[in-house]
Amino acid sequence: MIFEGFSDEAKVWLYQANRELKDAEVKYLEKQLSNFVDQWSAHGKKLKASSQVLDSYRFAICADGSVEASGCSIDASVRFMKVMGAELGVDFFNRLKILSDNEGQKEFVAFSELRNNPELEIYHPAITNLKELRSKEKLKVKEYLGL
pLDDT digits 0-9 by tens, 80-133:
999 999 999 999 999 899 999 988 899 999 999 999 999 999 999 999 999 999
pLDDT at 102: 85
Residue 67 has pLDDT above 70, yes or no: no
Asked if the model's pLDDT at residue 72 lies above 90, the reply is: no
Q: For the whole model, what pTM was predicted?
A: 0.89
**Which of the residue ranges 1-5, 21-25, 128-132, 133-137 would you say has the lowest mean pLDDT?**
1-5
Q: Is the pLDDT of residue 27 over 80?
A: yes
* Structural domains of the chain in order of their starting residue, each with its CATH number: 11-88 (3.30.70), 97-126+135-145 (no CATH)
Q: Is the per-residue pLDDT at 66 higher than 70?
A: no
What residues are paired with 106 via a beta bridge? 101
Q: What is the mean pLDDT of the chain?
A: 92
Long-range Cβ contacts of 136-140 (<8 Å, 24+ apart): 137/54, 138/101
**More reliable by pLDDT, 66 or 5:** 5
Which has more confidence, 45 or 70?
45
Distances in whole angstroms, Cα of residue 90 to Cα of each of 18, 59, 72, 101, 129: 6, 13, 24, 20, 24
